[in-house]
Amino acid sequence: MNDGSSAVAASPPPAQPAGVLDVRSVTVRFGGLTALDEVSLTAAPRQVTGIIGPNGAGKTTLLNVLCGFVRPDSGEVSLGGSRLTGLPTHRLASLGIARTLQGVGLFRGLTVLENVMAGATCHARAGFWPGLLGITRSDRDERALRERSLAALDRVGAAELAGRMPDQLPYGMRKRAALAGALVAEPKVLLLDEPASGLSEAELPELGELITRLAAAASVVVVEHRMDLMMSVCEAIAVLDFGRLIAHGTPDQVQADPAVTAAYLGTNGENGPDGETGLNVETAPDGHPSPDAEGGETPGD
């Protein structure tokens, strides 16, 4: 749909300094489908980098590559100059890559605190599951693990929920608990897959503030359909369409890019819905993104 992509904005970025998550010419194919086609982008430390695009663009596939769920057919991913491509997910976690899922992903039979502790296994010498099953480990490990997990809950504003069961919580608080489970590993790179899904419009400003705070200690990469949220929290945004990178720049640059407008609206980018060029980030009266701003993710994208 967008053969005339932005040559300047979408060109591979130059070599980056240490600490940068660097994606170089990554291609992923599923049978005859090319989910990612020579995608190159970077995510800087202590910065929020957004990944947006219409339905089927390849956003979640890219996140799956970054966390090791999917191995690319070609291309490389590195962090601070160290090659990550091909490493198993547990090895990537130990190197500082953490990821949330589109859903909540909490264990119903565990308390909120126990769920968060399960995310800290790469820091506990004896691990979480042996302790849960009654296998001996040191009290010092247990205390350290609990303290780290409580601190992660506090970072997301949910420390008072530590003893509650996930089913007792509203959806927004369950998502915070899941986020704490990723933070407890003290990641260098935090991958957030649609953190605003299921949240009301009134909850978005607080989520935006939380994401901004988290970027003070990690590189935060966000896949999200809520364009109002993305434009307010991201310092850089990469735009995918049919697996190709069509734009990469600041929110203002991305909104003004005709290739981005065409990808979202199916137009030539000359006139948006309000008569102006750019990406419409208005939300509907029910608090959900308008059809113009919503990509409507498909499973596995």
Last residue in a domain, options 186, 217, 235: 186
Contact between 227 and 281 under an 8 Å Cβ cutoff? The reply is yes
Q: State mean pLDDT over 64-86.
A: 93
Query: pLDDT digits over 229-288, tens only?
Result: 999 999 999 999 999 999 999 999 999 999 998 888 765 444 443 333 345 443 333 333
- Per-residue pLDDT at 56: 87
Maximum pairwise Cα distance, the chain: 67
Statement: residue 153 has pLDDT above 70: yes
Statement: residue 15 has pLDDT above 80: no
Beta strands in the chain (DSSP E): 21-30, 33-43, 48-52, 74-79, 82-83, 97-99, 189-193, 219-223, 236-241, 244-249
Model confidence, pTM: 0.79
Contact between 157 and 210 under an 8 Å Cβ cutoff? The reply is yes
- Per-residue pLDDT at 239: 96
Task: Give the lowest-confidence range in 3-12, 43-52, 53-62, 144-153.
Answer: 3-12
Q: State mean pLDDT over 92-101.
A: 89
In angstroms, what is the C-alpha Rg of the chain?
20
Query: pLDDT digits over 217-226, tens only?
Result: 999 999 999 9
Last residue in a domain, options 186, 211, 235: 186
Statement: residue 165 has pLDDT above 90: yes
| One domain for residues 80 and 146 | no
| One domain for residues 181 and 195 | no
| One domain for residues 176 and 203 | no
Contact between 250 and 9 under an 8 Å Cβ cutoff? The reply is no
Helix, strand or coil for residue 172? helix
Statement: residue 156 has pLDDT above 60: yes
Residue 233: which domain range? 1-96+187-250
Q: How far apart are CA 292 and CA 280, in angstroms?
A: 6
In a domain, 21, yes or no: yes
Question: Measured between alpha carbons, how far is residue 2 from residues 33, 235, 243, 253, 280 in Å?
Answer: 17, 24, 11, 17, 18
Q: How far apart are CA 93 and CA 128, in angstroms?
A: 15
Statement: residue 178 has pLDDT above 80: yes
- Per-residue pLDDT at 229: 94
Tally of domains within the chain? 2
In a domain, 264, yes or no: no
Task: Give the lowest-confidence range in 8-17, 57-66, 276-285.
Answer: 276-285
| One domain for residues 75 and 198 | yes
| One domain for residues 195 and 56 | yes
Mean pLDDT of the chain: 80
In a domain, 89, yes or no: yes
In a domain, 157, yes or no: yes
In a domain, 257, yes or no: no
Statement: residue 114 has pLDDT above 80: yes
In a domain, 116, yes or no: yes
| One domain for residues 10 and 62 | yes
- Per-residue pLDDT at 186: 87
Instruction: Specify the residue for token string 């010498």.
Output: 125
Quickly state the pLDDT bin for 51 (edges 50, 70, 90): very high
| One domain for residues 226 and 111 | no
Q: State mean pLDDT over 186-207.
A: 92
Contact between 10 and 245 under an 8 Å Cβ cutoff? The reply is yes
| One domain for residues 201 and 182 | no
pLDDT higher at 137 or 42: 42
- Per-residue pLDDT at 268: 46
| One domain for residues 81 and 201 | yes
Closest C-alpha to 212, from 239, 194, 230: 230
- Per-residue pLDDT at 144: 84
In a domain, 123, yes or no: yes
Contact between 39 and 58 under an 8 Å Cβ cutoff? The reply is yes
In a domain, 255, yes or no: no
> How many other CB atoms are there within 10 angstroms of residue 286's CB atom?
7
Q: How far apart are CA 135 and CA 130, in angstroms?
A: 5
| One domain for residues 32 and 167 | no
136-157 in b/e form (b: 16+ CB < 10 A) is eeeeebeeebbebbbebbebbe
* Structure tokens given for 112: 């909120």
Quickly state the pLDDT bin for 90 (edges 50, 70, 90): confident
| One domain for residues 67 and 112 | no
Q: State mean pLDDT over 190-214.
A: 93
Quickly state the pLDDT bin for 138 (edges 50, 70, 90): low
Q: How far apart are CA 163 and CA 120, in angstroms?
A: 17
Contact between 145 and 122 under an 8 Å Cβ cutoff? The reply is no
> How many other CB atoms are there within 10 angstroms of residue 218's CB atom?
21
CATH number at residue 194: 3.40.50.300
Share of residues in the chain with pLDDT > 70 (%): 76
| One domain for residues 73 and 192 | yes
pLDDT higher at 7 or 22: 22
